[in-house]
Amino acid sequence: MGKRSLVFIVFLYVLSAAVPAMAEIQWYQLAEGMKRAASEHKPVIIDFFYGKGCPRCESLQNNVYNNSAIAKKISDDFIPVRIDLTKKLNAEETALGNQYDFKNDCLLLFLDHYGKIIKGPAGKKLCFVDSIEPEQFIQYLDMVREGYK
């Protein structure tokens, strides 16, 4: 191996070590996620999600969930649950959605490990039907997590 090749390999190694790995969120099904939340005493983020073609879902995926700092916070401090609205919902998913008047549309919920809606300091339920900016989402994550210390 030539000197240039060795220098190039070392450069690539140093560069790859300096760039943090992209955190990826491992999403759970509702039943499994709620079971994990109860056993780990962690809050739950539930996203009723359509995916491609939905502006709200694409915005959340691209601007929030793909943000490595947010993905790490979610993975470390929450149990993330995604309910795929492109498929037939089971009775438990339908009941949860109906409880918060989702009308088979996108909805983002923050629940405690008992399955109860988390409220902010002003007593407002933390559930969203629209897109949310990354900075605001981080504030909600921090606020909810502080309540669990």
pLDDT digits (tens, 9 = 90+) for 2-38: 655 443 443 434 434 333 445 689 999 999 999 999 9
CA nearest to 81, candidates 34, 115, 147: 34
Q: How far apart are the C-alpha atoms of 35 and 149, rounded to whole Å?
A: 20
Q: What is the pLDDT of residue 11?
A: 40
Q: How far apart are the C-alpha atoms of 54 and 33, rounded to whole Å?
A: 24
Percentage with pLDDT > 90 across the chain = 50
Q: Identify which has the larger pLDDT, 125 or 116.
A: 116
CB contact set of 104 (below 8 Å; sequence gap of 6+) = 85, 97
Q: Identify which has the larger pLDDT, 48 or 1.
A: 48
Q: What is the pLDDT of residue 148?
A: 75
Mean pLDDT across the chain? 83
Q: Identify which has the larger pLDDT, 36 or 133.
A: 36
DSSP string of 30-75, one letter each residue: HHHHHHHHHHHT--EEEEEE--TT-HHHHHIIIIIIT-HHHHHHHH
pLDDT digits (tens, 9 = 90+) for 52-88: 888 888 989 999 999 999 999 999 999 999 999 999 9
Q: Which domains does the chain have, with CATH numbers?
A: 24-146 (3.40.30.10)
Residues 100 and 117 sit within 8 Å (Cβ to Cβ): yes
Q: Which helix (H) or strand (E) holds 107?
A: strand 107-111
For β-strands 79-84 and 44-49, DSSP reports them as parallel
